[in-house]
A and B are shown apart, each in its own frame.
Chain A
Amino acid sequence: DGGITQSPKYLFRKEGQNVTLSCEQNLNHDAMYWYRQDPGQGLRLIYYSQIVNDFQKGDIAEGYSVSREKKESFPLTVTSAQKNPTAFYLCASQGAGLAFSGANVLTFGAGSRLTVL
């Protein structure tokens, strides 16, 4: 079955450490996204990529980095520069298509919960 796989499901990090969250999709989607979710704040966009080898900052990119070397993969690194990294991180992908076609539906992974000790 096609879908998005995020790993690990749970991750603990000591302050000052970088960690990388994995996101893999087999939907043949061009666009991929990383969101951060905090209680009562909804989802906030960290980074997104519309095509391989290209990505753009979202609303809260500081302290994060990404790469898009393959269409299927969009890993997110939470660096030590991120002051409050404890959160639930969601990866999503989206197929190509014009807005009016209704193709702009995001498919989400199951999420990764990062806790800083």
Chain B
Amino acid sequence: AQSVTQLGSHVSVSEGALVLLRCNYSSSVPPYLFWYVQYPNQGLQLLLKYTTGATLVKGINGFEAEFKKSETSFHLTKPSAHMSDAAEYFCAVLSGGYNKLIFGAGTRLAVHP
């Protein structure tokens, strides 16, 4: 069965600093991986996705993630944090055979001046 672990429920960075949000997955089949962002009292918006091909995936708002099969990881990064990046971020893996997404518990990112 597929599962997702997000390390760190809260991450705090200074404006302009590197953002690193960690995600590890388990999957018995080649995984399809996603990062979503959620602003307060809103739905989730897709940041980026990995299905096949290039392991470094670029998304919206300057975010990118790298699929590392050997480490079963899909960490999300952004070189320079902006105040508007403050939100909750969810990593997800596609559940094989059911077209269902399995979500991690989420990481709340705080950006301070």
Binding site for B on A (CB under 8 A): 4, 6, 31, 33, 35, 40-45, 48, 50, 58, 88, 90, 92, 94, 99-102, 104-106, 108-111, 113
Cα distance A44–B99 in the bound complex, in angstroms: 15
Closest chain A residue, CB of each to CB of B32 = A99
Cα distance A109–B44 in the bound complex, in angstroms: 8
Q: Are B51 and A110 in contact (CB under 8 A)?
A: no
Closest chain A residue, CB of each to CB of B101 = A106
Closest chain A residue, CB of each to CB of B34 = A105
Cα distance A6–B105 in the bound complex, in angstroms: 23
Cα distance A102–B41 in the bound complex, in angstroms: 27
Binding site for A on B (CB under 8 A): 9, 32, 34, 36, 41-46, 49, 51-52, 90, 94, 96, 99-101, 103-106
B residues in contact with A43, CB < 8 Å: 44, 90, 103
Q: Are A99 and B51 in contact (CB under 8 A)?
A: yes
Q: Are A102 and B51 in contact (CB under 8 A)?
A: yes
Cα distance A99–B49 in the bound complex, in angstroms: 12
Closest chain B residue, CB of each to CB of A108 = B43
A residues in contact with B45, CB < 8 Å: 108
Given contacts A43-B90, A108-B43, contact A31 B104 (CB under 8 A): no
Cα distance A9–B41 in the bound complex, in angstroms: 9
Closest chain A residue, CB of each to CB of B43 = A108
Cα distance A104–B96 in the bound complex, in angstroms: 11
Q: Are B105 and A40 in contact (CB under 8 A)?
A: yes
A residues in contact with B44, CB < 8 Å: 43, 90, 92, 106, 108
Q: Are A41 and B105 in contact (CB under 8 A)?
A: yes
**Most interface-central of B46, B99, B101 (chain A CB within 10 A):** B99
Closest chain B residue, CB of each to CB of A41 = B105
Other-chain residue from A45, A50, A90, A100 in contact with B52 (beta carbon distance below 8 A): A100
Q: Are B46 and A40 in contact (CB under 8 A)?
A: no
Other-chain residue from B34, B49, B96, B103 in contact with A42 (beta carbon distance below 8 A): B103
Cα distance A35–B52 in the bound complex, in angstroms: 27
